[in-house]
Amino acid sequence: MAETSDATLVEQAAQGDRDAFAALLARHYPFIFRVAYKWCRNVGEAEDHAQDVCVKLGKAIRSFDGRSAFTSWLYRVTLNTVRDAAKSRARREKRAADFAIMAETQAQAADCDAPADALWDAVDRLPDAERDVVLLVYSEGLSHAEAAGVLGCAEGTIAWRISKAKGRLKTLLEGELQ
């Protein structure tokens, strides 16, 4: 029996055929994993990225227009997934580092032994909207877009609330120093 072509499987999967979609994944998962691994050089991360690509494919298979080979399109989806994850991780690490620097700066100014405790106590005193944003972005590591999705507001609103929260935190922490 002849093997079904990618084009046929894509067409069937786009129409909701789960078996065709499963066949595509089975056929191309090693490729997805290999590409992800080449970019991140970590087996665990590559597995996570490959799973993310599989989920994305389930949502995006209908958008494949056939202008290029399926593997070319799949390569782009995989590469974009790995790059997006790296950018997201870098943003989370920067936010965590910024928050740690802010806590350390306040601790040095206050000559206190528990800067993180003082900072989190100040976070608890923020207005609800600002506290929620600080916790989602700095504690949970969400991007502004993800936090906006959780809170049902615009991404710009998240940035504005973080800016307001930082100003209030500075004021609250400086008030404790006096």
**Residue ranges of the chain with pLDDT lower than 50?**
112-113, 177-178
Question: Which is nearest to 86 in space by CA: 143, 1, 28, 167?
Answer: 143
Asked if residue 131 lies in contact with residue 162, where contact means CB atoms within 8 angstroms, the answer is: no
Asked if residue 169 lies in contact with residue 138, where contact means CB atoms within 8 angstroms, the answer is: no
Q: How far apart are CA 172 and CA 118, in angstroms?
A: 10
pLDDT, tens digit, for every residue of 62-112? 999 888 889 889 998 998 999 899 888 887 777 777 777 766 665 555 554
Number of residues in the chain:
178
What does DSSP assign to residue 4? Answer: P
Q: What is the reported pLDDT for 116?
A: 65
**Given 3.30.70.270, 1.20.120.720, 3.20.10.10, 1.10.1740.10, which CATH number is that of 6-85?**
1.10.1740.10
In the block, which residue shows the tokens 């084009």?
A: 7
Q: What is the reported pLDDT for 46?
A: 94
Domain ranges of the chain: 6-85, 112-177
